[in-house]
Amino acid sequence: MDLATYVDTAQEAARRAAVVLEQWKEQFQVREKSRADLVTDADLASQKVIQDYFAQRFPDHAFLGEEEGCQNHPGPGSRPTWIVDPIDGTTNYVHDCPLYCISIGLEIAGELVVGVVLDPSRNEMFHAAKGRGAWLNQRRLKTSATPRLQEALLATGFPPDMRGQERQLDWWRYFSLHTRSLRRTGSTALNMAYVAAGRFDAYWAFDNHIWDVAGATVLIREAGGIVTNVDGTDYNPYTPDALATNGHLHAELLSIFKNG
């Protein structure tokens, strides 16, 4: 099976999930998994439709999803693993704020090779496969050319429960003063997809999960950007921190994080 088939299948899975999100609108129950960390019927139904579709198309593949105890990480020698956030930006979905998406990545032999992020509100399908470029619908993506932080638009995300995480607000303050502006969309996958699309110049965070970043990491790399951990080491998407940039701003941002 080639990556083109996998990326097409992931797009179809995301489209099916988008239908589910639309169907559940204004009907779902909301529950807090922990303080301010929401889950709805739509999250569960979206994950189920995606998981069932992959099980039917690729019965020998594994599945890792945010909800319902599907969080086993692939290990060495694992089967190809689909990594899914059925709604990234659930708080936005609950408030009918159109900044949420379905995020799907595929890991094969320890490497992320396919990424799909679907924003159903804007009908924007971001998709990428290793060596085949990153795309927004039919348009090829390239990260921005912004060379200086003063001209840059940056994005970040915060954990649902900010208590004890006030240090993260210091970075918000610092970058507010040293960039053109900042955005906090409430969706990690959209933040990163927007870096791939050249809308944002960089993105940093300290609270990610693998299902937030698996798809969008492929988008950024295929669009010519760079993703590392915040300390500059090779990116481990199973760790909570990430720095994703257009490449031009990477060294400067690493040095800022290093010097705290």
Of 80, 115, 120, 159, the one binding ligand IPD (CB under 6 A) is 159
| End-to-end CA, the chain | 46
Q: How far apart are CA 19 and CA 37, in angstroms?
A: 23
CB of residue 9 vs ligand IPD: minimum separation in angstroms? Answer: 22
Name the minimum Å distance from CB 243 to Ca ion: 18
Residues 105-134 vs ligand IPD: string with x where CB under 6 A?
------------------------------
Nearest-approach distance from CB 130 to ligand IPD, in angstroms:
23
Quick check: 66 binds Ca ion (CB under 5 A)?
Answer: yes
d(CA 107, CA 116): 12
In whole angstroms, how close is the CB of 90 to Ca ion at the nearest point?
A: 5
Of 122-130, 156-164, 169-177, 250-258, which segment contacts ligand IPD by CB under 6 A? Answer: 156-164
| C-alpha dihedral sign at 65, 93, 10, 220 | negative
Per CB under 5 A, does 107 bind Ca ion? no
Beta strand extents in the chain (DSSP E only):
30-34, 37-40, 62-65, 81-88, 101-108, 111-119, 124-129, 134-136, 139-140, 153-156, 181-183, 202-205, 226-228, 242-245
* Rounded distance between C-alpha atoms, residue 220 and residue 173, angstroms: 26
- Choices 24-32, 85-93, 113-121, 158-166; region in contact with Ca ion by CB under 5 A: 85-93
For ligand IPD, give the closer residue by CB, 68 or 151.
68
Residue 133 φ/ψ region, left for φ over 0, alpha for ψ in the -120 to 50 degree band, beta for the rest: left
Q: Enumerate binding residues for ligand IPD (CB under 6 A).
A: 85, 88-90, 157-160, 186-188, 207, 212
